């Protein structure tokens, strides 16, 4: 059933004083939040803790009520983004989804630790959005708006997704891994000891806008496209619709056609995967990670696209002892964005294991222990 922002009521979701201290260092200057004594504490001395994870993508907005410390998604809401309506409309819908889930947390008698917001944009270390490639939120006080509801953190979606994999998914056993996500866009980051590397200004490891050299399969003309315009979902659709025998609407349509033997789709998907692998190999050569974790709707699709990414990566790794490094699919699936957004709230809480601690814990339950870096 469609969700209407007009029907949302303000809630009094419990945020106890314990978490005022946990978040005070991360709030924007000038934000004044009122914390009240947790009314559930007398009745329930160990209340269930949760955070709201909000994944604002170019296609859809997904919000979830995520349990701490398990990372389980207990409730979920989605809306189409429709970014052409403008940043204000998208922000209004996003806030409405969060308020709806705050009401859900209250009905479940769960203690809300905060709100994590993941966006497909550049985000600086203070939580300011510094680009407007997909959302017209650059220059807006987005973190301030969400912080009016509860303590809030804004992070880039790729670092949020990488954090989800580090805490709960395929990256848990590695102290140092590269995370790449491929879907509507392409992005990447490096995770060391459980923490995604943002760089000085939040712009580290921006792979999507990197140009590379390729040849046109039809005429042999040398091309220098940027990676996202060649290998992302929309890029596959645009390329296929120029040459294919039928119209495609999503990147998955093109990869499916390739698996069915469509010659145009096969060439497009293979070249896209190899180009992506070439760029991933560059990150491996520079960063020397233990592993590569690939996520996103296309990144985890398998088949020819996956095989081409892996082959393209291994073919361009120059160090012989790195060529066999694990290249694995992300484990969190379509919920990695919202779980990762919630994980930005969890990562500094007592008892949360990330990085070395998580790797050690994993090795103790049956996986082969790894040597320290």
Domain ranges within the chain, ordered by starting residue: 5-157, 176-330
Task: Work out the pLDDT band at 217, boundaries 50, 70, 90.
Answer: low
Distance, in Å, from the CA atom of 268 to the CA atom of 271, rounded to the nearest integer, reads: 5
Asked whether the beta carbons of 3 and 95 are under 8 A apart, the reply is no
Three-state SS at 31: coil
Predicted confidence at residue 198, as pLDDT, reads 95
Predicted confidence at residue 364, as pLDDT, reads 46
Residue 132 tokens, joined = 């407007």
Predicted confidence at residue 205, as pLDDT, reads 86
Distance, in Å, from the CA atom of 182 to the CA atom of 190, rounded to the nearest integer, reads: 15
Pick the CATH number of 5-157 from 3.10.130.10, 3.30.420.40, 3.50.50.60, 3.30.1460.30: 3.30.420.40
Peptide bond into 69 cis (omega under 30): yes
- Strands 110-119 and 152-156 turn out to be parallel
Predicted confidence at residue 246, as pLDDT, reads 83
Q: Which residue has the higher pLDDT, 106 or 349?
A: 106
Answer yes or no: is pLDDT of 261 > 80: yes
Task: Enter the pTM of the model.
Answer: 0.81
Q: Which residue has the higher pLDDT, 283 or 297?
A: 283
Residue 238 DSSP symbol: H
Predicted confidence at residue 344, as pLDDT, reads 97
Distance, in Å, from the CA atom of 92 to the CA atom of 199, rounded to the nearest integer, reads: 30
pLDDT per position as a tens digit, 322-337: 999 999 999 998 889 9
pLDDT per position as a tens digit, 63-81: 999 999 999 999 999 999 9
**CA dist 57 → 109, 156, 219 (Å):** 29, 11, 36
- Lowest-confidence pick of 42-56, 107-121, 141-155: 42-56
Task: Work out the pLDDT band at 225, boundaries 50, 70, 90.
Answer: confident
Distance, in Å, from the CA atom of 183 to the CA atom of 233, rounded to the nearest integer, reads: 5
Predicted confidence at residue 206, as pLDDT, reads 80
Q: Which residue has the higher pLDDT, 231 or 46?
A: 231
Map tokens 């009521």 to a residue: 9
Distance, in Å, from the CA atom of 335 to the CA atom of 330, rounded to the nearest integer, reads: 11
Looking at residues 274-286, what average pLDDT do you find?
95
Distance, in Å, from the CA atom of 335 to the CA atom of 339, rounded to the nearest integer, reads: 6
Architecture of the domain made up of 176-330: 2-Layer Sandwich (3.30)
Distance, in Å, from the CA atom of 216 to the CA atom of 210, rounded to the nearest integer, reads: 18
Predicted confidence at residue 216, as pLDDT, reads 57
Asked whether the beta carbons of 148 and 194 are under 8 A apart, the reply is no
Predicted confidence at residue 222, as pLDDT, reads 55
pLDDT per position as a tens digit, 98-109: 999 999 999 999
Task: Work out the pLDDT band at 357, boundaries 50, 70, 90.
Answer: low
Answer yes or no: is pLDDT of 240 > 80: yes
Predicted confidence at residue 334, as pLDDT, reads 82
- Lowest-confidence pick of 134-143, 220-229, 340-349: 220-229
Instruction: Give the gyration radius of the chain's Cα atoms.
Output: 21
Predicted confidence at residue 59, as pLDDT, reads 85
Answer yes or no: is pLDDT of 257 > 70: yes
Looking at residues 201-225, what average pLDDT do you find?
71
């Amino acid at each position: 059933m469609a969700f209407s922002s007009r029907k949302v009521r303000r809630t009094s979701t419990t945020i106890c004083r314990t978490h005022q201290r946990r978040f005070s260092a991360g709030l924007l200057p000038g934000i004044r939040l009122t914390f009240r004594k947790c009314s559930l504490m007398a009745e329930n001395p160990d209340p269930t803790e949760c955070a709201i994870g909000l994944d604002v993508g170019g296609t859809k907005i997904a919000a979830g009520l995520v349990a701490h410390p398990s990372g389980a998604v207990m409730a979920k809401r989605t809306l189409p983004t429709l970014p052409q309506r403008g940043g204000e409309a998208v922000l209004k819908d996003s806030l409405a989804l969060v308020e709806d889930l705050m009401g859900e947390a209250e009905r479940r008698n769960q203690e809300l630790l905060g709100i994590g917001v993941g966006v497909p944009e550049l985000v600086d270390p203070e939580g300011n959005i510094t680009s407007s490639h997909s959302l017209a939120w650059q220059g807006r006080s987005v973190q301030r708006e969400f912080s009016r509801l509860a303590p809030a953190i804004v992070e880039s979606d790729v670092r949020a997704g990488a954090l989800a994999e580090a805490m709960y998914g395929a990256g848990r056993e590695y102290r140092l891994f590269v995370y790449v996500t491929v879907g509507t866009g392409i992005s990447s980051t490096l995770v060391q000891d459980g923490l995604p590397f943002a760089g000085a200004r939040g712009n580290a490891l921006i792979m999507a806008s990197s140009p590379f050299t390729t040849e046109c399969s039809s005429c042999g003309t040398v091309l220098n496209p940027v990676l996202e315009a060649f290998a992302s979902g929309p890029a596959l659709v645009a390329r296929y619709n120029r040459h294919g025998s039928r119209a495609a609407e999503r990147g998955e349509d093109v990869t499916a056609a390739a698996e069915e033997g469509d010659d145009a789709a096969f060439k497009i998907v293979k070249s896209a995967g190899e180009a992506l692998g070439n760029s991933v190999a560059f990150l491996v050569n520079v960063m020397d990670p233990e592993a590569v974790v690939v996520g996103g709707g296309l990144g985890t699709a398998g088949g020819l696209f996956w095989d081409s990414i892996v082959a393209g990566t291994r073919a361009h790794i120059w160090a012989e002892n790195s060529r066999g490094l694990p290249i694995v699919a992300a484990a969190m699936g379509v919920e990695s964005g919202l779980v990762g957004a919630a994980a930005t709230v969890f990562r500094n809480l007592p008892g949360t294991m990330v990085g070395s601690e998580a790797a050690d814990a994993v090795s103790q339950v049956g996986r082969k222990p790894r040597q320290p870096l």
